[in-house]
Structure 1
Amino acid sequence: MELEAKACSESRAIKTTLVLPPDTNNHGTLFGGKLLAHIDEVSSIAALKHARKNVVTASMDSVDFLSPVTLGQTITIEAFVTYAHRTSMEIFVKVVTENVITSEERVCNTAFLTFVALDENGKPDVVPAVYPETEQERALHEAAIERAEQRKARRKRSKEFAEKFGF
């Protein structure tokens, strides 16, 4: 059964949160792990909106911390599906931090995650194709195959490391 393709925008998920004292380290900046949890959560919502079925995180590519996020700032995490392959989806994430007093904003983080859709038995299930509508979406979509190949090679190396060092 062929599923109808969906626009990237149909999967867009956005979350804004205030950075509070429990979210920060001894430098007064947001814990990286806390940001990763937000990224995974918003990305999973984007994947769910695209697949309309249960999903699991399969991988997280390089997560680039471009600038620190400090106590009292907000972070807005935006995610959407950029590419879909048979059962998997690539999600692009952009994190913008804002000083709400001065209204200064900057991109503090970008990431790519891969999610796999699951059927009612927990097995990988088919997802719709995705198509871009904007120039930014088009650029992300066109480069997705190359990123997928890099992911596949990285996964192979990870398996080799696990075999060698897995005890």
Structure 2
Amino acid sequence: MTEPSQPDVDGTGEDVEEIRGEVVDFLSTREVIMSVGKKDGVKIGMRFVILGHVPVEVGEGDEKITENVEIPKSVVKVVRLSGDRLSIGRTFRTIKGRPAYEVENPMYMFRHSSMITGPYGVTEPTIKYPAIPDRIESFDVESKETVRGKADMTVRKGDEVRLTTGEEFL
């Protein structure tokens, strides 16, 4: 469903339609089916943010009010359209790992002293830590855990999706 246009949020000088829908279902741990499609103006390559909402209290005493803050659960890129009212979004962000590394073993210089190292001794001059490879973000569809404080970061059926442009949620 399209909303009134937003002023130049993508930096092109043109107004951009706000397209909103919801997560309808999942195709895999990386792909969601969204309730927005060709009739809403969706095109392959568009990015949609999957949103959660967290209530936040503002003010003091009688002036206290509660506002909802949009929390991005994920950002997906449209990879295909399915009919006029559905599209498929896929996660595309990579969660960075780290390279393997090794450090000097501080106990190596005492390798012959059974008093310091015990009966097994220290035989390696360095301690090796394996690499952690980059990995592609995926949805934990079944998990009921929360990640960011009060926000439930698990993407679920019925979650709001909204067209996002620029660096808004990246």
Query: Could you say which TM-score interval applies, normalised by the shorter chain?
Result: under 0.3
> What's the TM-score once normalised by structure 2's chain length?
0.24
Structure that is richer in strand per residue: 2
Which structure has the larger Rg?
Answer: 2
Structure that is richer in helix per residue: 1
> What's the TM-score once normalised by structure 1's chain length?
0.24
